[in-house]
Chain A
Amino acid sequence: MKIQILLFAHLREAAGFEMKTLEVTAGSTVGAIARNVFSTTLKKFSGSPVRFAVNEDFVSEETRLREGDGLAFIPPVAGG
């Protein structure tokens, strides 16, 4: 199935893109996809703190993605 990943701040800069469509196994969890992205595209930030959001809501790593979902990598925020 196809999903989109969205990156921000230092993760976006390190990867060189903000949004990308990925082909993943149906039923993949957020954690599995994240581990894959960190071990390939974002090696430098492997193990750095990050939360995840699917379709603009925070989710746990156990969340299973569905076709067309947008998975955002949310590094520690710094608004205000």
Chain B
Amino acid sequence: MKATGSLSFHRLREDEMTFVTDKPISLDKLVSAKPNDSSGARAIFVGYVRDKISGKRVKKLFYECYPPMAEKQIEVIVEEAKKSWDLENIFVLHRIGWLEIGEIAVVVMVDSAHRKGAFAACESIIDSVKKDVPIWKKEIYADETDGWVSVELKCEANVCK
């Protein structure tokens, strides 16, 4: 990530032009990247895979994705955030594929002149990602059963409640 002074570096690797990755996400490079001189605040949200969901012990999980639409929708979310807040930089990256407990699933990082805009934009972006980006989560439980999960429905063995 380069501090270019523009809003164009919200992707980790500009050459790949991507908001989703099947590779482990490392925070080191991100967090150590210096913000623009005009940025007084940086808010970072990091989502991790946890070991228990809905009371069931989870062994690992699989994020399925519709990649071209996920890229497009995150672009829309980023553009909306730019319009709503005075932001210096926005970074969004979502992991897909198989993930183990404790791995990073998603990162949202926002640089702004002031903390209020940074916090608000960061929260709004992750909320929108969870609502509108075509990524689905299959949990594999410790007892070897599995299920598709979302905020609106829960499906186990292809029966949705």
Contacts and interface: CB of A to CB of B under 8 A. Distances in A.
Given A45-B160, A48-B153, A79 B133 contact: yes
B153 A49 contact: yes
B66 A78 contact: no
Contact of A77 (B47, B68, B135, B138): B135
A37 interface: no
Given A44-B158, A74-B134, A79 B153 contact: no
B63 A13 contact: no
A29 to B, nearest CB: 20
Q: Main SS of the interface on chain A?
A: mixed
B91 interface: no
Contacts, number: 83
Interface in A38-80: 44-45, 48-49, 53, 56-58, 72, 74-80
B64 interface: yes
A80 B136 contact: no
A76 B158 contact: no
Contacts of A48: 153, 160
A74 to B, nearest CB: 5
Interface residues of B, number: 33
A36 B110 CA distance: 44
A48 B69 CA distance: 21
A10 B134 contact: no
Interface of B: 47, 63-64, 66, 68-70, 72-73, 94, 105-106, 126, 129-138, 148-153, 155, 158-160
Top 7 A-B pairs, shortest CB-CB distance:
A79-B135, A9-B136, A78-B150, A76-B150, A76-B152, A80-B130, A56-B69
Given A48-B160, A49-B152, 4 more contacts: A8-B136, A48-B153, A78-B136, A78-B151
